[in-house]
Amino acid sequence: MSEQKSHSAGLFDLRLVIAMLFAVYGVVLVVVGAWFTDETELAKAGDMNINLWSGIGMALLSALFAVWAKLRPVVVPPDGTKASDVDSDATGH
């Protein structure tokens, strides 16, 4: 009988999906804030380029989610195995 090994969720990890969405929105906001914001829009926001700063923040949050997913991957148990059985085997308890 062959032994199946557990594997990580990979691209199906929700943290990576969230990271990709924040990255796309962040890049769009950085582009809009850096090249398409005029003085009247800045005056409305109290002379602060909100699009640019929000985009930078979203890009940083995206990087944090991606690092988190890389450092702590979700382990998918093999078929027919409970998640608690895989966790106890991995920790040695």
Of the candidates 49, 56, 46, the residue with the CA atom closest to the CA atom of residue 33: 49
pLDDT tens digits, one per residue of 8-51: 666 678 999 999 999 999 999 999 999 999 999 999 999 999 99
Predicted confidence at residue 78, as pLDDT, reads 77
Tell me the two tokens of residue 27: 């890049």
Average pLDDT for residues 77-81, to the nearest whole number?
72
pTM tops 0.85: no
Residue in the structure block whose two tokens are 């895989």: 86
| Cα within 13 Å of Cα(52), Cβ side | 12
Average pLDDT for residues 45-62, to the nearest whole number?
97
